[in-house]
Amino acid sequence: MGKEIRTAKRSVPEGHFIRCPQCKATVFKKDAESRFNVCPECSHHFYLPARDRIHQLLDADSFEEWFADLRPRDPLQFSDRVLYSERLQAEQKKTGMPDAAVVGRGYIRGRPVVLGITDFAFMAGSMGSVVGEKLTRATEEATRMLLPLILVSGSGGGARMQEGILSLMQMAKVSAALARFDQAGGLYVSVLTNPTMGGVAASFALQGDLTVAEPGALIGFAGKRTIKNTVRLELPEGFQTSEFLFQHGFIDRIIHRKDLRTEIARIIDNCER
Ligand SMILES: [Zn+2]
């Protein structure tokens, strides 16, 4: 459980409640938190920060973070509404993270794994050079140590346009590392959470040996409006959801957040050579 959530609980009374975007119920924040940050009324999966994800997935205190010293740069001195360098500082302050990815080693019910997570809170979880580099190094470490690799995606932004080509090349870089991991016989389980879009979906998130998703996650490449304007066709209802993609064979399983830890452990056992 994140520090900021606990702090929020102690503060103003409104902080005690959250409104579920799916069933519109007003739910006790504490009730949702005690259910893995899932709506107690309708099982809507709320956003989960990377730190809480680690806590939920891994055995207590088993996480050893890697490459925590990597920091983003601004080689293009990019500016949209604000300077990229200023945006980075604001995001770092807001999230307490240097960039959108956390990687490292830990244990899932006693099984050693390499874990990587992209966190939506930091610039929509978009993949810049730090995210790409961390995931690539994590994959290379998993290859070297021959450990299962678990990557949890929560990226609505895809590639981070503020880093231009340096961001786009991460897609190829991570993919190449994953291909070498695959050739070495490694097991890669990709866990898709809400949302997994753009260059993240177009690279590592959809290259798993097994691709599982949380219920109701938005998963796709381009947004609905963009596709509609391009192909000029009516698109099926909910075509970018976990459920639709599961029905059409694009993902292997939908797993409720409360079961992820057990099910990933089971997948590892079933795939052990
Ligand atoms: Zn709900």
CA–centroid distance, residue 19 to ligand 1 (Å): 8
Q: Which DSSP symbol is given to 235? A: P
pLDDT at 135: 98
pLDDT reported for residue 245: 97
User: Widest CA span of the chain, in angstroms?
Assistant: 54
Distance 194 CA to ligand 1 centre (A): 15
- Rounded to the nearest whole angstrom, what is the distance from the C-alpha of residue 102 to the centroid of ligand 1? 28
In this predicted structure, what is the pLDDT of residue 9?
Answer: 47
All residues with CB under 5 Å from ion ligand 1: 20, 22-23, 39, 41-42, 44
pLDDT score, position 15: 77
Q: How far is the CA of 33 from the centre of ligand 1 (A)?
A: 13
Query: How many H-runs (helices) and E-runs (strands) does the chain carry?
Result: 10, 9
pLDDT tens, N- to C-terminus, the chain (273 residues): 444 444 444 444 567 999 999 999 999 999 999 999 999 999 999 999 999 999 999 999 999 999 999 999 999 999 999 999 999 999 999 999 999 999 999 999 999 999 999 999 999 999 999 999 999 999 999 999 999 999 999 998 889 999 999 999 999 999 999 999 999 999 999 999 999 999 999 999 999 999 999 999 999 999 888 999 999 988 998 999 999 999 999 999 999 999 999 999 999 999 985
Phi, psi of 79 (to 5 degrees): -140, 125
Q: What is the DSSP letter of 272?
A: -
Q: What's the pTM value of the predicted model, to 2 decimals?
A: 0.93
Q: For residue 254, report the distance from its CA to the centre of ligand 1, in Å.
A: 18
Centre of ligand 1 from the C-alpha of residue 21, in Å: 7
Ligand 1 centre to CA of 46 (Å) is: 9
- Would you state the pLDDT for residue 14? 61
**Region of 154 on the Ramachandran plot (φ > 0 left; ψ -120 to 50 alpha; else beta):** beta
Reduced 3-state DSSP string for 41-107: CCCCECCCCHHHHHHHHCCCCCCEEECCCCCCCCCCCCECCCEHHHHHHHHHHHHCCCCCEEEEEEE
pLDDT at 157: 80
